[in-house]
């Protein structure tokens, strides 16, 4: 996972193009391909899902790993935070959706 600075250096907001030459930060987020990246509604957390059957919850500012959610039997194709950031829903190739408590990491329901 990479963090890029895409804010232009120009004071002119009409600048059409910003050149980005290097990432500010690069971290190994998963063991296999990342399928989805979602930012929580309050911008404090980032969730990533992967073909490695896990969901990682990151502290947005420093990109520190807060929690890893495990329970799917196949890669996780999509994730989405609830508006309150308390819940996360995941959809997997194992033909299930799971509802997760973000704080505890507990799977609350499997559909």
pLDDT, tens digit, 9 for 90 and up, residues 39-92: 999 999 999 999 999 999 999 888 899 999 999 999 999 999 999 879 999 999
16-37 CB burial, b ≥16 within 10 A, e <16: eeeeeeeeeeeeebbeeeebbe
Residue 75 placed within a domain: yes
Q: What is the pTM of this model?
A: 0.81
Mean pLDDT for 26-39 is: 85
Domain, as residue range, for 39: 30-110
pLDDT computed for residue 102 by the predictor: 95
At residue 40, the pLDDT reads 94
Classify residue 6: in a domain, yes or no.
no
pLDDT of residue 55: 97
Domain count, the chain: 1
In this structure, what CATH number is given to the domain that contains residue 92? 2.40.10
The tens digit of pLDDT for each residue in 6-16 reads 776 555 555 56
Does 23 map to a domain? no
pLDDT of 4 above 90: no
Asked if the structure places residue 105 within a domain, the reply is yes
In a domain, 20, yes or no: no
- pLDDT higher for 103 or 25? 103
At 69 the pLDDT is 97
């Amino acid at each position: 996972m990479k963090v890029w600075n895409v804010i232009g250096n120009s004071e002119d907001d009409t600048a059409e193009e910003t050149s980005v030459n290097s990432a500010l930060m690069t971290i190994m987020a998963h063991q296999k391909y990342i399928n989805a990246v979602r930012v929580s509604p309050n911008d404090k957390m980032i969730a990533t899902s992967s073909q490695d059957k896990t969901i990682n919850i990151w502290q947005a500012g420093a990109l520190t790993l807060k929690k890893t959610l495990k329970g799917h039997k196949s890669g996780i194709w999509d994730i989405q935070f609830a508006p309150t950031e308390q819940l996360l829903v995941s959809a997997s190739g194992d033909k299930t959706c799971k509802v997760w408590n973000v704080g505890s990491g507990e799977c609350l329901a499997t559909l």
